Amino acid sequence: MNTPNIRISARAIGLACLLACAGAQAGEVEVLHWWTSGGEAKAANALKATMQAKGHTWKDFAVAGGGGDSAMTVLKSRVVSGNAPAAAQIKGPSIQEWAREGVLANIDGVAKAEKWDELLPKAVSDVMKYKGNYVAVPVNVHRVNWLWANPEAFKKAGAKLPASWDEFFTAAEALKKAGIIPVAHGGQNWQDFTTFESVALGVGGADFYKKALVQLDPATLSGPTMEKVLATFKRVKDYTDKNANGRDWNLATAMVIKGEAGMQLMGDWAKGEFVAAGKVPGKDFVCVAAPGTAQAFTFNIDSFAMFKIKNDANVKAQNDLAAAIMAPEFQEVFNLNKGSIPVRLGMKMDKFDDCAKLSAKDFVDDAKSGTLVPSIAHGMAVPSATEGAIKDVVSQFWNTDKMSAKDAQAKLVAAAKAK
């Protein structure tokens, strides 16, 4: 009869200790990220709230600029001056680049205790490790090859949602005739490349994509399929507006939200913007795979690399941050706001919308069929120097009327050698 009471008091003691211990070891965690748009900020706030609930102080180190180019520049100067944050949004091959500098912390302790090896696809955990030790923790899986559309605008124009690039240009013409900007675009080089890689995947297919943009095979980069890809990509520009240059991606999304523009080619962080604006998927906006890419998946995995820091309480906070990111509650709430899907395996998807459910299904199917490809625009595939060089060529081609596809191809082959 006494057992339940004993159990309750033991639990109460445990709880009291938990609170006291958390208080005693409360630290500060400084986190560098570039999540400053409406949907992104909501997602980042979920992380802040989680850390504060554990008694830690959150020091926000947000550097505005989609795609993170500015954030990476600021991070470099902070690390060089010996003042690294506890955690920074670093992804893909860049994790290895930073680890090689000897500045990242080994977080195997948390990873082992929390069984990350069992909770992550191996392809993901491999990227988070340096020489077999975890140095980073993944947050989500974004799908990049999406097209977002405003169904009202399509209805007004009598246009049909495109499944191929031919249909895309037919729809774009119809939207233009109806006085609607067909394609909302932001002329920043990561956005140009986000469009470019969806065109490459849609026109050339997954094998071409891998050969050209991941393996950087010179013959494929200078071949006829790449010429067609570049020509198709440039045609998209005719359907963007004159003010696109320099525009932030979320402002381009806002054009689709308001019906000023018909569609946007963008990863599913765009969904975070629609949702933050109170829009309902399937009703106020729709998601379809970028033309010709329904059978493929361009992935972009956000992650936080952990830097070596000294203060014990702050190290504790850093470890708690790593554990919190992988916890199921956080994976759910964060990704509901961010537009992405959980990276942790075995998560329930019942609270997620149809775009996310399709993304989760396709991620698994495409991994099996070999049509899961890394995003170059979002730092998943090639070293950062190479990425920067090929992005520059693509944006130069987009912005220079007299540059031929052949010229661009020769420049791509040269840029692919940048290390």
Answer yes or no: are the C-beta atoms of 397 and 408 closer than 8 Å.
yes
For ligand GAL, the binding residues in 272-331 under the rule CB under 6 A are 300, 302
Q: Is 361 left (phi over 0), alpha (psi -120 to 50) or beta?
A: alpha
Report if residue 35 touches ligand GAL, rule: CB under 6 A.
Answer: yes
Closest distance of CB 302 from ligand GAL, Å? 5
Among 66, 262, 291, 342, binds ligand GAL (CB under 6 A): 66
Query: Can you list the positions of beta strands (E) in 92-161?
Result: 129-130, 133-134, 136-138, 140-143, 146-149
Using the minimum distance from each CB to ligand GAL, give the nearer residue, 34 or 209.
Answer: 34
For residue 250, count other CB atoms closer than 10 A to its CB: 21
104, β-bridge pairs: 307
Ramachandran bin of 331, using left for φ above 0, alpha for ψ from -120 to 50, beta for the remaining angles: alpha
Distance CA 240, CA 285 (A): 19
Q: What angle do CA 376, 366, 91 make, to 5 degrees?
A: 35
- 269 is a contact residue toward ligand GAL (CB under 6 A): yes
Q: Considering the complex, what minimum distance in angstroms separates the CB of residue 156 from ligand GAL?
A: 29
Closer residue to ligand GAL (CB): 220 or 340: 340
- Specify the stretch interacting with ligand GAL by CB under 6 A; choose among 18-26, 61-69, 200-208, 275-283: 61-69
Among 56, 142, 143, 344, binds ligand GAL (CB under 6 A): 142
Q: CB nearer to ligand GAL: give 154 or 334.
A: 334
Q: List 129's β-bridge partners, or say none.
A: 134
Build a one-symbol-per-residue string for 194-233: x at contacts with ligand GAL by CB under 6 A, - elsewhere. Answer: ----------------------------------------
**Residue 95 burial (CB count, 10 A):** 21
- Nearest residue (CB) to ligand GAL, 37 versus 232: 37
User: At residue 33, what is the residue type?
Assistant: H
Q: Does 68 bind ligand GAL (CB under 6 A)?
A: yes
**Least distance in angstroms from the C-beta of 26 to ligand GAL:** 28
Q: Which residues bind ligand GAL (CB under 6 A)?
A: 34-35, 40, 66-68, 142, 249, 269, 300, 302, 378
